[in-house]
Each structure stands twice: as structure tokens, then as C-alpha cells.
Amino acid sequence: MASVQSLVDEGYIERSFRLGQRTQPVFDKGSGPPVLVLHELPGLTKPCLNFAERLISAGFHVHLPLLVGRPLERAPHANYRKLCISEEFARLEAGKHAPVTDALRTLAQDISQRHGGRRIGAIGMCLTGAFVIPLVIDPCVAAAIASQPAIPMHLGYLFTGLGGGRWMDALNISDSELQHAADVARSDGKHIIVQRFSADRLCPGRRVRRIASTFGDTAILHEYPESSWWRRTVQPPHALLTEEYDANEDAAHPTRLALQRVVDFLRQHLT
């Protein structure tokens, strides 16, 4: 597969992990503390890879599992259709345990073992934003970032800003997993960042505030402003660390600030 070869040519090492009844690739590169990065609904895209490269440049060893689609292929609609019937992803239903998180916990344990038992960081975004929450339960995961968790989504709200309701609080993990992870974080001194753009309609504010409230003092909540009227009302921003990242802006730009906070957070809890 040409896209896999492209990653290998960029210095990534390809391994595999078990996801349900199939074997999926996982790519790793870098040196330093290990970080598990879970890609967004569009897939393991170039913007996601760029984010991984920024973490690698900051001194981390990044592990990138491919959960759906093909490497470096952007296919949000095709991936959404696949995941809506996927048992591993609990058909994207709210409040349900997704078996993919069991596979990710096993992968996290394997990564820790490959790094001599070192504890790891975990980053989830969009589709996978809430998947890092069950990972907190595992002793090998020291810190987590839940970035713009987008499932479940409401297409009417996405396009119009109308259609609020209980779905805004919901997550694509079970309520018991959320509470268990929060209890473990408090007892074991673990911490989590929860973040989104304040204008994001895929990830409503009520959702991230619910996570932060459940985790209490072990959570850090960041909601980043969008200065553009057009972006706030017509094309709301979403992918804080990947597609929206602007390397040309100054350090105070929300995406630059979010990245620096993630890097500082991982350094604090992994080194």
C-alpha cells in the first residue's frame, strides 16, 4: 500500500495490533516519553501526521494506530458509514461501551512494555476524543488529552446551531467508564486535559464541561475562542490540533497555544 510506504519512508516503523476480528497497523517514530495518538474521524490524515511530527520534534515517541480507512487518506463520510455499523465502535451509539477501547488499552500496555514499563500519555481527538477516558483506568496511562470529542453528533446543530438537547452531554463511552476513570484519576493522581473551540458545533460545550466536572480537580478545561465571525457562524472550527493548526500565526493563536499546553502537560506528567 503506497500510503503505508510513505509513512515508512518518513521514518515510521510499522507494527500491528488486534482490533476485534482483524489486525490493524500501528506506526511509531521518535524518542523520549511514549504517547499514543488516536486519529480523528477523517482518518490518519496528513494533518494528523503533522501533529505527530510536532510531538516528535518536542521530544516524544509517538504511536499512531490506524483505526479505520487507509493511511494518509481523508475519508470522513466513508469512515462514518463504516463505523455506524461497527460493533467495535458500538455503532457510534451514545452511552455505550465501545470494544475498541479494550483493544486500545491492550495497545497502551504493549507500548508501555516496549518502553521498559514506562507510563504513557494518550491523546484522543474528534471520533476518539472520549476514548482516552477509559484508558485512564489502566495503570500504564499517566495522562490523557480529550480533544473536541465529537460523538454523538447532530447534523442539524452542525449546520444551523439549532437542535440542542441531551445529546450534547453524551459520549461514545459508557457512563460507568467515565465515572470509573474519574475515580481512578483522583485516587492515583492522574490528570486530563479537556479542550475544544468555543464555537465548535461538533463538540458542544456541555460535553466537555461534563467531563471536566466529573473529573473535578484532576481535569484542566480549555475552550478556545474564534475571532472570525465567518468561522463562528458559517464554518465553525473543530480540529484544534490538526486541520485548524496554523504554524504561521504567533504563539498566542489558539491552535499554537493549545499545542504548547499539550506539550507542557505531557512533559510534566511523563518526564
Query: Domains in the chain, ordered, with CATH?
Result: 2-270 (3.40.50.1820)
d(CA 97, CA 132): 13
- Length of the chain equals 271
* Maximum separation of any 2 CA atoms in the chain, in Å: 50
C-alpha R_g of the chain? 17
10-residue mean pLDDT series, the chain (271 residues): 83 95 96 98 97 98 97 96 95 97 98 98 98 98 98 93 94 98 98 98 98 98 91 93 90 94 98 85
Q: Nearest 5°: phi and psi at 24?
A: -120, 150
Which pLDDT score is estimated for 2? 63
CA 21 to each of CA 18, 24, 40, 46, 260: distance values in angstroms, whole numbers, following the listed order: 7, 10, 22, 27, 38
pTM over 0.85: yes
| 124: β partners | 38, 146
d(CA 185, CA 216): 10
